[in-house]
């Protein structure tokens, strides 16, 4: 046992938890921690982002790509509030993250002191748990508890706010081994298992809907075995991408607003919908009164609060998805649903994803990225049309390949997340797909990538508009393009080069492949601007609040 300052205890606790990388931005209140971090820079790498929001997204991306807890740091006041969007993003997508902030000294709390903010109050609705530490003797236990909470059960972000005097105070510190995280099984009831097995055996047209919970529980192997054992087609949510191999013959594509017609019709026509780690988001469900109306619904999820929250189910099993699937696999015999699978295959043939192959488009670029990377890259995205194209046209073969803001829909998420992902997975090609609107929100993080020579590739789909909002304005608002046109003097290539990156501009299809190959081979930060049409749209599409089987595409619009 030794005596350490609070700042030194923070660093020792991070080392205890196996933290090798943190993302942050210093300031007055957190100076003691940064001073202690300086003394341990050979053990913990600190990435100074261009903005605290970039730090929170980087910690999030690190967590999504590795499955470990991501860590970010910021000072008091505006430093802490700049983390808020990133914390909220992680919260809605159930990402394990610990955000460490420092506040004014204990005696100045509640006095509107310089750079004081009640960050505990601000973040209470958007964290799994949060703490303020005013006693140095409690600091180590709080940090250890924060990591346990962040990664246990349904993961999520935890904030630890520490007053500056606590970081300077000293107390005895005793190292401890990290608490092991046990998979949650106590709510898996035998009667629930029996009912589920009975429903699965009775089904003639089962369909599996996979969400992010299957990724969080590392259940890919069990899910694949389950789908093939019961011979059921599989669709996924945006957050579930990669939990089931996108090249598998049973895979039907994404479900929901921009899902495939095959998946949406599969949900509408099935007699049993098996939902694995998904929360029935409104973007998946559409009209909740007309969702899977021909089916019984079996919901498997770790969080009891999700059962019957958005959609009424017929049965549920609560617990860790990996364990539940493993138990089901052990008790089910192989099944045959050839007639149902043949019908699904006919739907795939009738309703393939389509786009204009004559010109440079987002779908074409995504297919080229898939080809050049062999389907092995980590793909990050911002939010909008490019996000949907990345979900539709890149085949994700394994979990943790697609990092994207699903619940909050955070523009500006992707580049920070890509930096975090690359720091966590240095052997993988990491590509962020952005729109020009999103790039304006996070382009400053190019400077972070070049500062540390983090070789991420930023691909900007520049259509000179806020594409997804414009798509809605075109289809539903009489082409009244209010504040969605971005025709201005911005030169993305010069901006990226000014921050030290290699930059390219692509205007025709034949340049995509050679530029991508060169960008990957350079192994430095690269920005690739791809100029595409302002009126390109994401199809299929379900109007908000409509049944998902009413998905339409350009051919349907022409018929009308």
Catalytic residues: 52, 114-115, 164, 468
Question: Residue 532's closest CA among 472, 481, 440, 465?
Answer: 465
Question: Residue 519's closest CA among 538, 506, 537?
Answer: 506
Distance CA 346, CA 25 (A): 54
Distance CA 501, CA 494 (A): 10
Question: Residue 157's closest CA among 228, 76, 56, 78?
Answer: 56
Most distant pair of Cα atoms in the chain: their distance = 77
Containing H/E element for 236? strand 234-236
Are 151 and 180 a contacting pair, CB within 8 Å?
Answer: no
Take residue 239 and report the two structure tokens written for it: 């957050």
Instruction: Using the structure block, give the residue that is written with the tokens 């005793």.
Output: 174
Distance CA 94, CA 357 (A): 37
Q: Which residues are within 8 A (CB) of 133 and not within 5 positions of it... i.e. 6 or more apart?
A: 6, 139, 142, 160, 161, 162, 163, 166
Supply the DSSP symbol for 485.
B
Cα–Cα distances in Å, from 148 out to 124, 142, 559? Answer: 18, 10, 56
Distance CA 389, CA 386 (A): 5
Burial label for 104, CB within 10 Å (0-12, 13-18, 19+), is: buried
What SS3 state is found at 527? strand
Question: Residue 58's closest CA among 499, 438, 424, 458?
Answer: 424
What are the phi and psi torsion angles at 3 (to 5°)?
-95, 125
Question: Residue 17's closest CA among 242, 176, 198, 241?
Answer: 176
Question: Residue 97's closest CA among 107, 88, 110?
Answer: 88
Instruction: Using the structure block, give the residue that is written with the tokens 């971005």.
Output: 486
What are the phi and psi torsion angles at 541 (to 5°)?
-145, 140
What SS3 state is found at 269? helix
Task: Tell how many helices (H) and how many strands (E) occur in the chain.
Answer: 24, 20
What are the phi and psi torsion angles at 270 (to 5°)?
-70, 160
To 5 degrees, how large is the angle CA 237–CA 71–CA 141? 115
Distance CA 52, CA 50 (A): 7
Take residue 534 and report the two structure tokens written for it: 């302002």
DSSP readout, 174-229?
A: ---PPPP-PPP-TT--HHHHHHHHHHHHH-SSEEEEE-HHHHHTT-HHHHHHHHHH
């Amino acid at each position: 046992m030794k005596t350490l300052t609070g700042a030194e205890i923070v660093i020792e606790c991070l080392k205890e938890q196996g933290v090798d990388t943190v993302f942050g931005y210093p300031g007055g209140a957190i100076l003691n921690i940064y001073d202690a971090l300086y003394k341990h820079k050979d053990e913990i790498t600190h990435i100074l982002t261009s903005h605290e929001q970039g730090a929170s997204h980087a910690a999030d991306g690190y967590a999504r790509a590795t499955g470990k807890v991501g860590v970010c740091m910021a000072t008091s006041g505006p430093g802490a509030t700049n983390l808020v969007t990133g914390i909220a993003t992680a919260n809605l997508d159930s990402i394990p993250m610990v955000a460490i902030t420092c506040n004014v000294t204990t005696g100045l709390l509640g006095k509107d002191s310089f750079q004081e903010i009640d960050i505990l109050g601000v973040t209470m609705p958007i964290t799994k748990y949060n703490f303020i530490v005013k006693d140095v003797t409690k600091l180590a236990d709080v940090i250890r508890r924060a990591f346990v909470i962040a990664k246990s059960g349904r993961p999520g972000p935890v904030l630890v706010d520490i007053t500056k005097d606590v970081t300077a105070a000293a107390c005895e510190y005793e190292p401890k081994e990290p608490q092991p995280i046990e998979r949650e099984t106590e709510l898996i009831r035998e009667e629930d298992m029996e009912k589920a097995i009975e429903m699965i055996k009775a089904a003639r047209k089962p369909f599996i809907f996979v969400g992010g919970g299957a990724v969080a529980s590392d259940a890919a192997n069990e899910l694949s075995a389950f789908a093939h054992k019961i011979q059921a087609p599989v669709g996924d949510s945006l957050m579930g991408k990669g939990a089931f191999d996108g090249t598998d013959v049973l895979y039907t594509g994404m479900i929901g607003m921009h899902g495939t017609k095959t998946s949406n019709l599969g949900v509408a026509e099935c007699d049993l919908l098996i939902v694995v780690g998904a929360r029935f988001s409104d973007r998946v469900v559409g009209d909740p009164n007309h969702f899977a109306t021909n089916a019984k619904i079996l919901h498997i999820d770790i969080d009891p609060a999700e059962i019957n929250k958005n959609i009424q189910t017929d049965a549920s099993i609560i617990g860790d998805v990996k364990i539940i699937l493993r138990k089901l696999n052990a008790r089910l015999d192989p099944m045959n649903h050839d007639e149902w699978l043949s019908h699904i295959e006919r739907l795939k043939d009738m309703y393939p994803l389509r786009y204009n192959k004559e010109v440079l488009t987002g779908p074409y670029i995504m297919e080229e990225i898939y080809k050049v990377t062999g389907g092995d890259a980590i793909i990050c995205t911002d939010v909008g049309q490019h996000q949907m194209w990345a979900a539709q046209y890149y085949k994700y073969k394994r979990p943790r390949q697609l990092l994207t803001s699903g619940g909050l829909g955070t523009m500006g998420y992707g580049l920070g997340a890509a930096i975090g992902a690359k720091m966590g997975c240095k052997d993988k090609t990491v590509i962020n797909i952005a729109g020009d609107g999103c790039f304006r929100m996070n382009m400053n993080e190019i400077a972070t990538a070049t500062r540390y020579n983090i070789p991420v590739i930023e691909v900007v789909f520049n259509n000179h508009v806020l594409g997804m909002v414009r798509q809605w304005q075109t289809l539903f608002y009489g082409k009244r393009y209010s504040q969605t046109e971005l025709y201005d003097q911005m030169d993305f290539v010069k901006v990226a080069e000014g921050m030290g990156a290699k930059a390219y501009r692509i205007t025709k299809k034949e340049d995509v492949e050679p530029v991508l190959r060169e960008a990957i081979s350079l192994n430095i930060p690269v920005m690739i601007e791809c100029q595409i049409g302002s009126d390109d749209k994401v199809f299929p599409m379900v109007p908000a609040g409509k049944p998902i089987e009413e998905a339409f595409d350009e051919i349907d619009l022409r018929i009308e």
